[in-house]
Amino acid sequence: MPYIMKNVPPSFIVGIGGSAGGLEAYKALLEALPSDTGIAFVFVSHLLPNASSQLAHILSRTTEMPAMVAATGMGIWANHVYVIPPNADLFIEGSVFKVTSPRIKRNQQVDGFFTSLAEAMGKRAIGVILSGYNGDGTEGCKQIKANGGVTFAQDDSAEVNRMSLSAQLAGCVDFVLPPKKIADELVRLVNT
């Protein structure tokens, strides 16, 4: 019998940041996750401003959870996957998304989202930094840690390790693991 999705608030919200090389890491993470964790997953990827992103569609093929592009006012539900729209900044306000477009600065969307996630969810915020260039996500991880949340960075399995190394060097990462092990640890965290 297939799992039936219900719109209930998530026990945790996991923000997942990535850029170059991130797609394979995103898929590996989702493939290793059960579809009934009680968590909401939000993917914040660096996209070209004029991109016609198919990320939500691609991710929907790797999980039974519904995957969709986030929009202003959209509720955030457990066992759902959300994706940042192209040329936009994504935030959480209360229990819904806020999208502003065009984006304010290039390649700082992860920091912006993680900071709003930390403020909205406190100790129920989780940040994951996967493959990508530059240090986007490091400041956001610091905010998640300061608010009692948990942070992850991809290990040397990252195709491009600059984003994950930046967060690790800043001392704001709790776990350094490959994507499939991150999935295992997320399940363990929400069940303790």
CA distance 60 to 30: 9
Q: Do 85 and 70 touch, CB atoms closer than 8 A?
A: yes
Q: Is 111 a catalytic residue?
A: no
Q: Is 95 a catalytic residue?
A: no
CA distance 89 to 12: 21
Considering 45, 116, 136, 166, which one is annotated as catalytic? 136
Considering 45, 46, 80, 157, which one is annotated as catalytic? 46
Considering 19, 157, 164, 166, which one is annotated as catalytic? 19
CA distance 126 to 160: 21
Q: Is 136 a catalytic residue?
A: yes
Q: Residue 187 corresponds to which amino acid?
A: V
DSSP 25-62: HHHHHHHTS-TTSSEEEEEEE---TT----HHHHHHTT
Active site positions, annotated: 19, 46, 136
